Amino acid sequence: MTFLLEDAGFVVNAVRIAREAGAIALKDFRDGGTTTAAVEFKDGGSPVTDADKRVDDFLRAQLSAAAPEAGWLSEETADSRERLTRELVFIVDPIDGTRAFMAGDPRWGVCIALVKGGKPVLGIVHMPALALTYAARIGNGATLNGKPIAVRPSAPPDGALVAGPPKLLRALSDGGLAFRAEPRIPSLAYRLVRVADGGLDAGIASTNACDWDIAAADIVLQEAGAQLLGLDRCPVIYNRTEIRHGALFAAAPWFHDSLANGLRDIGT
């Protein structure tokens, strides 16, 4: 049976696949210790583990069987421009936060997005070691472990809580923006969806985030009442020839303009 956006079981099936993929990775995860998975390094120095590859293989088999009409883009699969000919494309990150996974930090996740015409219509960010599953389908809201979530509706008494690259946060503070800085969150997808559940008021991504880092979190943010935007304040378009992006930010509506202006002023 193929996935259909109109099917009420669409998200349920995607969540099941994400959780099963997470269980594969958990076999090699050691909370507070070094992974048992073999580690290699790609050109450029970023690591990849055997667990990344096993999860990637599982996701491709499961998702492609469910929706054979969809193209494929994954961090751990050689890119094919054939995806550019497809209206529907799965964009996945088998383990978002591989370095955290390797070091025993539980803040890593499995990310699945379905993009239609360059825009995400389904997103799952599953954090296996934290037992957290964020999910969203266009027009149907966002959930965390099956319960509806939304961005924080107003400023907290002690000020906005923001996560992002430390140097950038220091520059924002030096530029006069008032906020509290959240300690580093290694998974970019988790950093962003914490804005969606109200745990953060803003999340920032530095230049060079790829489609697979952000697409799943993007639709969760949208359905929770926030947006993921570039510094031009335009939404991200996915499944293009160039899959890397400039600096991005997501913020609760009441904090959006202040953060956007602060980023503009420091020239990020």
Give the tens place of pLDDT for each residue, 216-248.
999 999 999 999 999 999 999 999 999 999 999
pLDDT of residue 5: 58
Identity (one letter) of the amino acid at 52?
A: D
* pLDDT score of 1: 40
Instruction: Return the pLDDT at 12.
Output: 87
Evaluate the CA torsion angle 112, 84, 225, 251 in order and state its sign.
positive
Q: Reduce the DSSP state of residue 104 to 3 states and report it.
A: coil
The phi, psi pair for 20, rounded to 5°, reads -65, -35
How many Å apart are CA 256 and CA 81, to the nearest integer? 35
DSSP H or E segment with residue 117: none
pLDDT of residue 44: 82
Residue numbers in the chain where pLDDT is lower than 50? 1
**What structural domains does the chain harbor?**
10-148 (3.30.540.10), 161-266 (3.40.190.80)
Q: What is the DSSP letter of 81?
A: G
